[in-house]
Chain A
């Protein structure tokens, strides 16, 4: 059938299994939005308040489901507004297809109205990007975009479509199935044998895993490996939710704001088995101690990039672990296990001290109160989203996450303003209530999306850690900059309860754990979006295993 380019886009999206897109219209995508209108019974478009919100929503949709998220924006400012969202997805390996309109081909390069070279702009933050100047290539280019986005290590792909390509006509035949990813690479047998030798001879093995376990669906194999080798587990921020928090081997998040026991165990280990993780600079090793490292990852370019491994293995993580399991010895390491218990005890001691010292400062809510109260009410499989800052690290440290894809956070890019969009996307994907933990700093960047959440009737509970400061930077200023609180004391008079009300959302303010509990119950029963403003003291600090504030 011969149809317009705009219709080809919509038909190809439907062919690729896309049921929901997030976007914002404009002059150069008006044809595409016309087709979305005509096909509204087959594909849902969710209008956000800002294109950045659309990109984060598509990201949240993708993280919650593992499917490819799709966002649409017009040329120029619409396209540049997507960039932070695309970069967020790129750093955290989230499959995304971003579609932008552009000025007609004849006007490209003339600095036309709302023209920007979005291909050039997004080249460093996409897996790949395309501009389609020939309608004959439109459908296959979109298919390639989906294929690239979901293959291997997932990531964002941008497709830029000039307006005249949207209005031109060409033949289109829908394919029966969505494109399949490129074949996976598989770990070499020899290297797996060498890995088994190293593992079998280690006395103090430590497993350090990342988001690759979630996108590679390898939680089961990971736990089996830990059991067989009698090794403790720690993870990067992106690895959280891959294994249940109450798994006895799990020591929690590693790195500069990680759990003490996890950090210390990795620092004392003689072998670190790094799985689906990229050794970001946030992941810290103890001073001077360099263990042997086995590193397995789907992305060859991550091997030996940040940390040189003694054995680097490229390949699909699930397959690699599945094949590794039969060739490693079943062992018990009582001395190492006893040491891990000591480290856990030290961690408990430190946190108890910290609770006594920092908890309930000024009679306000402690982070522990907030997260404990909310997690006591939220269902076990509730998707937890965060913005970026102290509240993010507190959530990462304390929230009892149990199921993969229930923790959505901007890890690599650390994007303040990520949360609202991502939470809306996650709710749209699952139809279930999502919880967003945010701070008053981050919320100031994305509260415009309350409009979207209310318009959509999004089941969403927003919990604001309101301490009147940009706390993460402030605590660095306190520690390293002689308490020069430069530009981190907000001094705002914003009333988030009234703000939420003005947007049409439910809201309430909590100054004590009892008030919070009542409000959280109300929020979970609420039909739609509910904002809880929690008073937190500005001197609450995120703990770090790198420095001891406790004794």
Chain B
């Protein structure tokens, strides 16, 4: 069986409890979520949830059908991995010391990261990119001492004029 990562975009009514309904469906039916993000859309009244999960085609189809059954879910689409812009944001706090500072700065530059906070003992880097790039940067920072970090999980949007519609539901 082919296990792939799938990324789906879900347009939902922006009502209280909708995140519970969507995440609850995954838990209840035994599907695992890699990451889930939610935010506003261009249309008031709708939110967009991006979910990444691993599975085969069968699991993917079951997830889509179960999501489509939820009353607050308006549209679900699997995003084409070859034709989708996928981004994740990382904030990472690294130990700052004269001995390592220059190496960190070099990595920051090469990864097109940004230092957004600087103190004598710690610095915070901000990095956006695909998950693999974020993973690579974190790996690189480990020897310098990661004090804390958080990442947003991915947001994703298809290239070209293919859109998840929110307006047609209004």
Where the two chains meet, the residues of A that have a C-beta atom closer than 8 Å to any C-beta of B are: 119-120, 123-124, 127-128, 148, 299-301, 303-305, 308
Contacts and interface: CB of A to CB of B under 8 A. Distances in A.
A376 B104 CA distance: 89
B87 interface: no
A120 B20 contact: yes
Contacts of B58: 304, 308
B71 A124 contact: no
B68 A301 contact: yes
Contact of B65 (A120, A124, A300, A308): A300
Contacts of B66: 301
A123 B24 contact: yes
Nearest to B66: A301
Interface string B1-41: 00000000000000001001100100010000000000000
Contact of A128 (B20, B28, B61, B71): B71
Interface of B: 17, 20-21, 24, 28, 58, 61-62, 65-66, 68-72
Given A128-B71, A299-B69, A304 B61 contact: yes
Contact of A304 (B20, B62, B72): B62
A308 B62 CA distance: 11
Contacts of B69: 299-301
Given A128-B71, A128-B72, 18 more contacts: A119-B17, A120-B20, A123-B21, A148-B71, A299-B69, A300-B65, A300-B68, A300-B69, A301-B62, A301-B65, A301-B68, A301-B69, A303-B65, A304-B58, A304-B61, A304-B62, A305-B62, A305-B65
A304 B56 CA distance: 14
B166 to A, nearest CB: 20
B20 A123 contact: yes
Contacts of A299: 69
A300 B66 CA distance: 9
Chain B contact residues: over half helix, strand or loop, or mixed?
helix
A124 B24 contact: yes
Nearest to B17: A119
B68 A124 contact: no
7 contacts: A119-B17, A128-B70, A128-B71, A128-B72, A299-B69, A301-B62, A301-B69
A130 to B, nearest CB: 9
Contacts of A300: 65, 68-69
Contacts of B62: 301, 304-305
A128 B21 CA distance: 9
Contacts of B68: 300-301
B53 to A, nearest CB: 17
Contacts of B21: 123
A299 B28 CA distance: 18
A123 B27 CA distance: 12
A120 B58 CA distance: 29
Contacts of B65: 300-301, 303, 305
A304 B62 CA distance: 8
Given A148-B71, A299-B69, A301-B68, A124 B28 contact: yes
A124 B20 CA distance: 10
Contacts of A127: 71
Nearest to A152: B69
Nearest to B70: A128
A359 B17 CA distance: 55
A119 B15 CA distance: 13
